[in-house]
Amino acid sequence: MHQNLPRQRARILRHPGRFNPVRIHSERDMQGRHLRLSLAPGLSLHEAMVAPLRAAGITSASTTILGGAFARLSYCVAPPDPSGKAVIAYSAPIDAGETYMIFGNATLGVAADGGPLVHCHAAIRCADGRFRGGHILPDRAIVGDRPISVLVTGFEGFSLRQSFDPETNIPLLQPFREIKNDPADA
Amino acid sequence: MTLLMPEQPGAVVESGRMGRVAYARIGPNEDLVRGIEKLCLAEGFENAFVRGALGSLVDACLQANDGSEIHVAGPAVEIVSLAGEVRSSPAGEVEASLSGVVADPQGRIHGGPFVPGGNPICMTFEVTLEEWLPERG
């Protein structure tokens, strides 16, 4: 994989949908709202992240998982989609067993059905000692015996919502500037 | 050559504070490094730190210790860790330096500095930047 050849040209892939001329969709706050979150032992990554942050009034956030042990964890990789509906598709879940998460990033947002969504990628050391990485399944990652620290940057002036992206033909988290509904008002 | 002068701590220590925070979704086939630089142009950030990032690349291109390039073939190569900063020169040129870990389609991990122009985004790239406001001496 190490090559001393002249620089390879970066590949461009053709996606199934129409090309969107706007390539960067961004939103901003005048400042981030920072919290330190402890993921509670025994809960799934999804449960340990969503409920405490919702209680703190945060439903959209970017987080850094500072490393820690999981009692069990499954992840997916992203090979080409044989159906051709999209360029890639997630693989079947791979069970890594009792896993140490070396470093992870997770985004908290709102799923297409209105519920909370956690999108997490991480580097891990699997039960068998191998080093792996990929898309972590937040419902199938169970926090181990000790709390895991997370640095949270919450967003208040905009929200992250899973919405269908016609170009790639999959639902993706995207930022939307809107007045957030307070669950207490519902 | 940069000399580290203890009596001139400003040469090695830059005081400042965090400013605005921006979240972006960068679309497919955009370059990772150039995309983050353009995000700073879009948001008016002169200097920034990466505060969170995840997404996928078509293929990855990382710099090896001897200066050669490590090519990790996809698609997709998942970005599983990213740290870095964006700095602006006095002339206003914007330059991102990004280092991270990627996972190939078999889940094996590789790491290093991302080579500008060599890392096209596959499906999406989510990034949070926090503006860095140095104290002007």
Tell me the domain boundaries of chain A: 33-178
- List CB contacts (< 8 A) between A3 and chain B: 68-71
Residue B8 has a pLDDT of 59
Residue A8 has a pLDDT of 78
**B15-55 pLDDT per residue, tens:** 999 999 999 999 999 999 999 999 999 999 999 999 999 99
Find all residues with CB under 8 Å of B93, minimum gap 6, and list them: none
Residue type for position B14: E
- The reply to whether ipTM tops 0.95 is no
Distance from CA of B105 to the nearest CA of A (A): 5
Q: What is the mean pLDDT of chain A?
A: 93
Cβ of B109 and A172 within 8 Å?
no
Cβ of A80 and B70 within 8 Å?
no
Token pair listed for B72: 């990790």
Q: Please name every residue paired with A33 in a beta bridge, in sequence order, or none if there are none.
A: A154
pLDDT at A147 over 70: yes
Q: What is the DSSP letter of B30?
A: S
Cβ of B23 and A27 within 8 Å?
yes
In chain B, where are the structural domains located? Answer: 18-134
Cβ of B123 and A168 within 8 Å?
yes
Question: Which residue in B has a C-alpha nearest to residue A67's C-alpha?
Answer: B81
Span A137-155, mean pLDDT? Answer: 98
Residue B1 has a pLDDT of 43
**A14-53 pLDDT per residue, tens:** 999 999 999 999 999 999 999 999 999 999 999 999 999 9
Q: B38 — phi, psi (to 5°)?
A: -70, -35
Torsion angle of C-alpha atoms A163, B48, B85, A90, degrees rounded to 10: -10
Distance from CA of B94 to the nearest CA of A (A): 17
Tell me the three-class secondary structure of A131-164, residue by residue.
EEEEEECCCCCEECCCCEEEEEEECCCCEEEEEE
Q: Cα separation of B29 and B52, whole Å?
A: 20
Q: A105-115 burial, b for 16+ CB within 10 Å, e for fewer?
A: bbbbbbeeeee
Residue A136: closest CA among A78, A182, A186? A78
B69 and chain A: CB distance < 8 Å anywhere? Answer: yes
Q: What's the topology of domain B18-134?
A: 60s Ribosomal Protein L30; Chain: A; (3.30.1330)
Residue A186 has a pLDDT of 41
Question: Which residue in A has a C-alpha nearest to residue B60's C-alpha?
Answer: A10
Distance from CA of A121 to the nearest CA of B (A): 5
Sign of the Cα pseudo-torsion (B49, B120, B103, A91, in order): positive
**B84-131 pLDDT per residue, tens:** 999 999 999 999 999 999 999 999 999 999 999 999 999 999 999 999
Percentage of chain B lying above the pLDDT 70 cut: 92
Residue A15 has a pLDDT of 97
Token pair listed for A42: 């025994």
Cβ of A133 and B75 within 8 Å?
no
Q: Cα separation of B125 and A26, whole Å?
A: 12
Q: What is the pLDDT confidence band of residue A121, given thresholds at 50, 70 and 90?
A: very high
Cβ of A78 and B122 within 8 Å?
yes
Residue from A18, A63, A85, A88 to probe the interface with B (highest B Cβ count within 10 Å): A88
Chains A and B form CB pairs within 8 A to the count of 201
Q: What's the topology of domain A33-178?
A: 60s Ribosomal Protein L30; Chain: A; (3.30.1330)
Distance from CA of B5 to the nearest CA of A (A): 34
C-beta of residue A157 within 8 angstroms of C-beta of residue A145: no
Percentage of chain A lying above the pLDDT 70 cut: 92
pLDDT at B77 over 80: yes
Residue A3 has a pLDDT of 52
Count H helices, E strands: chain A?
1, 12
- List CB contacts (< 8 A) between A31 and chain B: 18-21
CA atoms within 13 A on the CB side of A165: 26
Which H or E run contains A176?
A: strand A170-176
